[in-house]
Amino acid sequence: MNGDAIRAIRAGPQAAKVRIGSSSVSLCVRSRSVQHGRRRVAGGIVAVLVAGSLAASGAGAGARPRDERPVARGDDRTRPPVQPGEVLVKAPAPGRGLERAVAAVSGRVQRSIGRGINVVSVPRGSEHTAAQRLAADPAVEYAEPNYFRSAASHVDGEVGWGVKRVQAPALWGGAPSLTGAGVRIAVIDSGVEADHKDLEGRVIRRFDAYRTGGRDDCGHGTAVAGVAAADHDGEGLAGVAPQADIVSVKVLTYSPDWGVCGAGDAEVIKGIYWVAREGSRAPRADIINMSLSGPGWSQSLEEAVDYAASKGVLIVAAAGNDGSVLVNYPAAYRNVLSVGGAKRRDGGLAWWEHSSFGAVDVVAPAKGIPVIQTDSVTTGGPCTVGGEPRVCADGTSFAAPHVAGLAALLWGRHEEELAALLPTDRVRRLRQWIAGTAEDVEGTPIKVDLKTGHGFTRGLAAADASDDPDRTLLTWQVEGRVLAPWKRMTGTPLTLRSRLVVSNGRGEVQASRHVTFAASRDASFSPTSEQTNDDGYAETVLRSAAGGRRTTLTASLDDGRSLRLVVYVLDRDDNVPGTVPPSSPFSDSLNLADDFDDVFRLRLRDGETVHARVGGLGPREDVALYLHRSSTTDISNPTHPPLREDTQAYADDWTRLKLTVGSDGVRYLHAKGSGTYRLRWWIVSPGMVRNAAATPSTITPNGDGRADRTRITWRVMRSGTMKVRIRNAGGKVVKSANLGRVAKGIRATRWNGRNNKGNLVKGGRYRVTLHWANTAGRISTTSTRVRVER
């Protein structure tokens, strides 16, 4: 597992995470530091990365019905970080019903962020439990924690290659010259410094969720805006669309709770709705760039994304810097074009090894990207550009604005015809041009693979195709490409709904095209063939009963054109849908290639406390622990996150877990991550041994035959093995004895005041602890005291 989404920086070249607003967002900046006046913020530039999916907007890819839940989200790889003491609650109507529900969880409505969504304050540590209780109330449509989103990037490398490699200079010098003039890019981030020399006069609108003047106190938003649209004036750095207008949307800020730059979903949602605008008014921007991410799936955030897409806004987001198959949000939402990272290698291109994968649509430059700086914050690290000292950064935070800038160039080329289309058709064409003309990174035949999606974005190819009605463009639309052959708690197979979209080069969808589907081994699908509908797509449902390998789904047209989709199939190991864990301690191995979790079934009784600890991990290994309620039916389902009962919060150390349950029933202990781990687990079962007493309670072991020893008695409620430990006032064990297996009933042993070496102990008070255990991992203790007088 790739670790705590709320850690600012991890050992080795890992991404720094930055919190944003009510939810958690990751800025993809890599292992250096950001100078914040006198304060250093771990992670260098903060850029948010999220793994997303290429999904059509419009009639064929609208909002998901409320009872249809996405599968194989993978967002439970970590305990998603939340804004402390806040939940988001959507109610059909305000009133006493909502007030009553909020009061029942000791909460208070702080503010409304629109569309019936309220930010509710609750006691810290109770965010998940309060959300679950509120969601069950009839006055509430849904409730969820205010997940925290953050940003991250890495330093090093050369400059300028990204803008060149997406072929932006060739489009600037073409006929007509494409510069993005008049196209508006909304940078939803930490704000944009409008007076920066490379952006001067280009920031046309501003929004600040905190009403602080919109200053970029993290430096990340300005750096992202520069990659997308810095002015090409012969000085400084040039962005992909050097004459596009910037709409600055500040939702990220320095968070004292997390010590990093970030924000919660509430602020991100406000920013999206501000850009999209309510009702019939035109959006304030044509393109949204979100270089932010976090592992928690949020219904309210997805609704905001879907609304913006329905208004004709193309949404581009970073896929994340986890280097794993597990996805982040908002990039993984259906109506987001998610961008992974690529790097240069031997004169060509390669996947950037820290880029998240599993739901990537396209890749763009992510390593060694020159970025512009603010006066107060340094984003990135030193590099040299054209012999001049510059600052460079790595991360999918900077891959995303390459694509947003390219979209602006294409938008400017076809502004009149795009303006005449329905909003959802406008977005679909842009997606077809960008994804349908991408260059395959990992060789032929062309395919949509796990790491690079449709491939590397190419400006010239997209521009040429957009003028060619005889060209055929094929793209896959699928929410993630991770398929679990089971619902972990039920053994029911999961399915993956996959759509092939067919259009001509101009992006006009083609109906009534015959599509034939074929799959590799270990997979089934239905139907095997279909005609494209009026929205230009044919759909099949893929199922798999095998794990630990990749499955390929191929869609072919009658004219021989085809496109492959590579699907990652999780391994179904012996611990699914949950077996009793081996005797403690035990070791097992997890890896991101075929098996990244183990699920163990525990039957607990009211009042019992389960303990679990992970150890033995190497410096690049990470395994986290969850405990799922008995009501959880599918731990892949984002609507059933790992929850503690009552108000018990997870500890900061995710390798340790402790929970006292309030009812009888099954719980699921879930180890998730990557590495060879050693797990110790036990269940404290109170009352299995009780009524301990020492007679006499004071002994004088001087050999006179009077009170030389004490008789210790106790009652055993169930048969088990017994141990006796006697400790002095300092807690040191002076005498121990293993009594072996004892039957139910009253039991006794004696102590003569001597230690394990047979010597008399010093005078003082001693605690006698009786330890009971059985083969099911349960333990129980009771104790009494003895005074020794010398």
First to last CA, the chain: 57
Those residues with Cβ within 8 angstroms of residue 251's Cβ, 6 or more apart along the chain or in another chain: 20, 21, 188, 189, 190, 209, 263, 267, 268, 270, 271
Give, as one character, the DSSP assignment of residue 233: S
Instruction: Name the token pair of 193.
Output: 């410094």
In whole angstroms, give the CA distance from residue 383 to residue 373: 13
Tokens 């007679």, residue? 695
397 belongs to the catalytic site: yes
Contact assessment for residue 449 and residue 438, using Cβ atoms and an 8 Å cutoff: no
* 607 CB neighbour count, 10 Å cutoff: 14
Instruction: Name the token pair of 613.
Output: 């600890």
Determine which one of 189, 361, 425, 588 is catalytic: 189
In whole angstroms, give the CA distance from residue 208 to residue 271: 8
CA distances from 134 to 66, 79, 504 (A): 17, 20, 48
In whole angstroms, give the CA distance from residue 10 to residue 617: 14
512 belongs to the catalytic site: no
Determine which one of 33, 291, 397, 503 is catalytic: 397
In whole angstroms, give the CA distance from residue 189 to residue 652: 27
Edge-to-edge strand list for the sheet holding 523-526: 472-477, 495-504, 537-544, 523-526
In whole angstroms, give the CA distance from residue 240 to residue 643: 44
* 526 CB neighbour count, 10 Å cutoff: 11
Those residues with Cβ within 8 angstroms of residue 413's Cβ, 6 or more apart along the chain or in another chain: 176, 178, 463, 466
Instruction: Name the token pair of 599.
Output: 């699920």
Contact assessment for residue 14 and residue 27, using Cβ atoms and an 8 Å cutoff: no
Torsion angle defined by CA atoms of residues 85, 38, 368 and 177, in that order, rounded to the nearest 10 degrees:
90
Instruction: Name the token pair of 732.
Output: 């040191």
CA distances from 141 to 36, 572, 596, 764 (A): 41, 35, 34, 63
In whole angstroms, give the CA distance from residue 393 to residue 153: 6
Tokens 């952006």, residue? 199
Tokens 């005074």, residue? 787
Determine which one of 220, 232, 354, 640 is catalytic: 220
Tokens 């970030």, residue? 262
Torsion angle defined by CA atoms of residues 199, 201, 207 and 209, in that order, rounded to the nearest 10 degrees:
40
Contact assessment for residue 292 and residue 268, using Cβ atoms and an 8 Å cutoff: yes
Q: Dmax over Cα atoms in the chain, in whole Å?
A: 112
| C-alpha radius of gyration, the chain, whole number | 30
Contact assessment for residue 230 and residue 237, using Cβ atoms and an 8 Å cutoff: yes
CA distances from 52 to 134, 465, 480 (A): 29, 24, 7
Strands (E) located in 202-299: 203-208, 245-250, 253-255, 260-264, 287-290
Between helix 299-310 and helix 423-436 the angle, nearest 10°, is 100
What is the identity of the amino acid at 463?
A
Those residues with Cβ within 8 angstroms of residue 347's Cβ, 6 or more apart along the chain or in another chain: none
Instruction: Name the token pair of 472.
Output: 């055929």
**Which residues are tagged catalytic?**
189, 220, 397
